[in-house]
Amino acid sequence: MSFKGKFKPKNPGKYKGDPTNIIYRSSWEFKLLTILDAHPDVIEYASEELIIQYISPLDNKVHRYFPDFWVKKKNKEGQLETVVIEVKPKYQTVQPEKKQKATKRYIKEVSTWMVNSAKWKAANQYCDQRDWKFMIMTENELFGKNV
């Protein structure tokens, strides 16, 4: 079952964009929105407001990537930093193991991995040019799982 909806921030002034139109597409995104909205070190945040162009390895064309979150926050040293965050299940962050037989599922996993890798490479380059950080958050970071 899908878990999606509109997030209603308790601190709408922290949201960069329209705070009445914050969409979450998973319970994991909802959890992170709740954390960002409440965390005292988060100065400003946005959800799917940033656009990064990338070239898809599937069709070799330019596409638009909307990372899940853009966050301006104070780091442990009290300095401001900007972080772009993608929320993904851990299994989607590692290259699929090669299979003897190319099933539909395996082909889809490889295609997803190839596109995600291209997006993340573009995001890393985009962030490096701005002295920002890019990170992928999985269930390990969101729920403290050591899987």
- Which entry of 29, 37, 86, 119 is annotated as an active-site residue? 29
pLDDT at 145: 61
88 in active site: yes
Identified catalytic residue from 16, 74, 88, 133:
88
Residue 6, SS3 per DSSP: strand
Ranges of the chain whose pLDDT falls below 50: 1, 147
**Residue 135 dihedral angles phi and psi, to the nearest 5°:** -145, 150
- 73 tagged catalytic: no
Range of the domain at 111: 44-143
Please name the residue that has the structure tokens 């040019």: 129
Q: Distance (Å, rounded) from C-alpha 94 to C-alpha 43?
A: 32
Among all chains, which residue has been given the structure tokens 């409440």? 38
Residue 58 lies in a domain: yes
The pTM (predicted TM-score) of the whole model is: 0.90
Q: What is the pLDDT of residue 14?
A: 97
- Residue 143 has what pLDDT? 87
Clarify whether 18 is annotated catalytic: no
Q: Is residue 33 part of a domain?
A: no
Asked if residue 11 is part of any domain, the answer here is no
pLDDT of residue 2: 61
Is residue 17 one of the residues assigned to a domain?
Answer: no
Number of domains, the chain: 1
Is 13 within a domain? no
